[in-house]
Copies of this chain bind each other. A is one copy, B any other.
């Protein structure tokens, strides 16, 4: 019997991606205070890749310690533009500032995924996509935010590429699953090697 699979995340888009692949899993938020961890990593001069990986690991290990004998997936995404790290915008006003800062520029979106078992990291992977935003006028950003609404605050970039967010971009390079927050192909490959995949799902 393959081990039960747990996604240590409350993110609807990651749950959606994993669900679409047909795998059976349950989702459990990790309860990790991401902000506190991120601040201490930043104080240590960690980069976007390191922060995403550290947070993904922390979430996976935290849930895994509570749930031994399961494979626990943790994931995190960070966004960096010209050396500046961006966070999920707390409010629509913050989202507006963020989009103004990203408009007309190329940013990197890093997504990391970690699998843990019995409280220990077994595997990890991180990669990034490069996204170039159109040189957006303020009026366009305002229309976008009026239509997209509060949901943009759930995304590190204040945009959702599965939805209205595509209008903001001139170019999206890199693996799309990674850009959506979960490097799915390497994760599925790791899981397949542990007997979890198409073959086992009912």
Q: Using a CB–CB distance below 8 Å, which chain A residues touch chain B?
A: 20-22, 139-140, 143-144, 147, 162-164, 166-167, 169-172, 175-177, 179, 184-185, 188-189, 192, 197-199, 201
User: In the complex, A20 Cα to B171 Cα: how many Å?
Assistant: 18
B22 touches A198 (CB 8 A): no
B199 touches A171 (CB 8 A): no
User: In the complex, A175 Cα to B199 Cα: how many Å?
Assistant: 29
Distance in angstroms from A169 CB to nearest chain B CB is 6
- Decide yes or no: A188 and B176 within 8 Å by CB, A143-B198, A198-B144, A199-B143 being known contacts: no
Contact of A166 among B21, B139, B201 (CB under 8 A): B21
A167 touches B143 (CB 8 A): no
User: In the complex, A201 Cα to B176 Cα: how many Å?
Assistant: 26
Copies of the polypeptide in the assembly? 2
B175 touches A175 (CB 8 A): no
A140 touches B198 (CB 8 A): yes
Distance in angstroms from A193 CB to nearest chain B CB is 12
A22 touches B147 (CB 8 A): yes
Distance in angstroms from A99 CB to nearest chain B CB is 12
* Residue of chain B at shortest CB distance from A198: B167
- Decide yes or no: A198 and B164 within 8 Å by CB, A170-B185, A175-B172, A185-B169 being known contacts: yes
B147 touches A166 (CB 8 A): no
